[in-house]
Amino acid sequence: MRRDDVLALLVSLSITGLLIGGMVYFINEWWGRLPKVVALILFILLAVMVIGYPIYALARWSDQYLARVREAQRQGRKEPPE
């Protein structure tokens, strides 16, 4: 794993933590004041963001890693450069 990968992982985990913390605060303080339809729509949007962003970040990381592996194989090396 390269240094860029670690940075991307830390940023992804940080954003995920902030999203979860914000969601907990929002639910504890504001959720009961919302109409049911609005609460349902917001719940779906929050679930997509909290679940989808780390998956998207992981997919981008894997694409970059696979590109490095293919480049290393094309150049005749067995391992990608670190």
* pLDDT band, very low/low/confident/very high, at 78 (cuts 50, 70, 90): low
**What pLDDT shows up at residue 41?**
94
Residue 25 forms part of a structural domain = yes
Structural domain boundaries, residue 31 = 3-73
pLDDT at 46 over 90: no
* pLDDT band, very low/low/confident/very high, at 23 (cuts 50, 70, 90): confident
Q: Taking the model in full, what pTM does it have? A: 0.48
Residue 33 forms part of a structural domain = yes
**What pLDDT shows up at residue 38?**
93
Residue 79 forms part of a structural domain = no
**How far is Cα 79 from Cα 16, in angstroms, rounded to an integer?**
31
Number of domains comprising the chain: 1
**How far is Cα 32 from Cα 10, in angstroms, rounded to an integer?**
33
**How far is Cα 24 from Cα 50, in angstroms, rounded to an integer?**
12
**How far is Cα 15 from Cα 21, in angstroms, rounded to an integer?**
10
